[in-house]
Amino acid sequence: MNVLGISGSLRQASFNTMALRAAQKLAPEGMRIEIADISTIPLYNDDVRAAGYPDSVTQLKERVRAADAVLLVTPEYNFSIPGVLKNTLDWLSRPPAPPFDGKPVAIMGASPGMLGTARVQYHLRQVLLFLNTFTVNKPEVFINQAASKFSPEGELTDAATAQMITELLVSLQKFKQRLG
């Protein structure tokens, strides 16, 4: 099973990108997670889209379309979706053939705060509903107090968090199998 992972943070030392890399290592047998870079996606402008999709958007659309599932790992900015991730989803939602249509998606996020991205995940689920994805509901992975769960080198050090990520990935794998 090929999963495309997308981090909603561009920050070099992002806890969310660290969590995404941890997911690569924790992936169950038969699952491979590739990480997409969204740093080159331009700001959405429908005039630009009408003139022709930028190469970075076209390539990402193809990668999402080719993936068996998508894993979104995102921080929470101002109680909601980071602009860079929302912008990416806006580009990917446009016709023709939006690649998220009918795609299994899992969500998780890391935050230095106590709620661990609960609010952004709620908002992201609303967007994914519009995109017609099949979103994994459980387990919910809210990585709170993230600074205490990763080493200075970016390695996940918290066993409970590793277990939650593993359970989410197994759920995504089973969800995809049920969908066919």
Q: pLDDT band at 175, cuts 50/70/90?
A: very high
Please tell me whether the peptide bond between 96 and the residue prior to it is cis, using omega within 30 degrees of 0: yes
Q: Given this model, what pLDDT does residue 61 score?
A: 97
Residues 107 and 73: their CA atoms lie apart, in Å, by 6
pLDDT of residue 180: 86
Report field, pTM of the whole predicted structure over 0.75: yes
Would the pLDDT of 155 be above 90? Answer: yes
Q: What is the CATH number of domain 2-179?
A: 3.40.50.360
Cα torsion 86, 32, 141, 148 to 10°: value is -100
